[in-house]
Structure 1
Amino acid sequence: MNTNIIYKTGVFPTIHQIIDLYANAGLKRPVADIARMEKMYAHSNLIVTALDNDVLVGISRAMTDYSYWCYLADLAVNTRYQKRGIGRQLIAHTKAAAGEECMLLLLSAPTAMTYYPQIGLRHLQNAFGVDREK
């Protein structure tokens, strides 16, 4: 783990910092649609950031009721900072902020299916979805 990394809860970086991080990390989100990205963050109630000397190097975006569930919608780490435990720490800080009564849930990108079990998340097979219309 990188000891220079500072984790902050409830800090909202600029949307341009977030978009740059998502693009660098390869997260498939509508980064060309700034208004939609802003809306995604405006309606998320648990944000954890990873900062290296005030440079955004990782982020966790979640929605939670702080009593039963926490949905981790996005986890992004700058490619130069990957494999240093930052993703694991972002998840740990997200879970801690949501509280011990909460179950943390996420949908994995196909490329990350092997990552989450390696850091202690249990694979679930009971999710369903309705696709986006646009």
Structure 2
Amino acid sequence: MHGHAVSEIGILKIAFIGYLRKPKQEICCGKSDWKRKDMASISYRTNARISPEQLAEIFHRSGIRRPVDDLARMEAMLAHANLLITAWDGEQLVGVARALTDFSYCCYLSDLAVDQSHQRRGIGAALVEQVRRAIGEKSMLLLLAAPEAMQYYPKIGFEPVPNGWIIKRAA
């Protein structure tokens, strides 16, 4: 990672209960016992090195649309992001939040991906919370959502903004 303010790899185990702001979100989908136990086994790492192949694989397993067949592009995406939070189930990468930030005013969350086999367990929300902790209270967090994810982001604290603009990439 080039030029990142968080240089040390940090491993943080998140206790599922008490971490989310809204009590009704503490237990996803009404299956509290196995989800509490399962969430306790997920660890989160800040700026842990992962390979372009691992990034492409988690994108593929999450269903997010990214150029997973272009490993050179995956490598560049990792090299130029300055904040990477990863979620691990043992030694298996199950989630990633990749961001660009100045750690003082704003942060663009360019990717939030969780393996489909681990979705609906609070891992995406935990990744976002880890990003928020890393960037601090004075930084805003913004993102572009895929159409199929538009209903998800309000559930984890994001608000829609009407004052955004985009110049789309050529390829």
User: In the alignment, which residue of structure 1 is the partner of 2:108?
Assistant: 71
How many angstroms does 1:12 deviate by?
2.0
What whole-Å deviation, never above 9, does each CA across 1:107-131 have from its counterpart, x for those lacking one? Answer: 1000000000011111112111111
What whole-Å deviation, never above 9, does each CA across 1:57-114 have from its counterpart, x for those lacking one? Answer: 0000000000000100000000010000000000000011011110000110000000
User: Normalising to structure 1: TM-score of the pair?
Assistant: 0.97
In 1, distance between residues paired with 2:131 and 2:156?
14
In 1, distance between residues paired with 2:112 and 2:144?
10
In 2, distance between residues paired with 1:38 and 1:56?
17
User: In the alignment, which residue of structure 1 is the partner of 2:164?
Assistant: 127
Moved over 3 A (4+): none
Report the identity percentage.
46
Match of 2:118 among 71, 74, 81: 81
Runs of 5+ consecutive residues of structure 1 not aligned to the other structure: none
In 2, distance between residues paired with 1:38 and 1:81?
24
User: Normalising to structure 2: TM-score of the pair?
Assistant: 0.76
SS of 1:49's partner is strand
Runs of 5+ consecutive residues of structure 2 not aligned to the other structure: 1-15, 17-38
Aligned AA for 1:37? M
Aligned AA for 1:13? I
Aligned length: 134
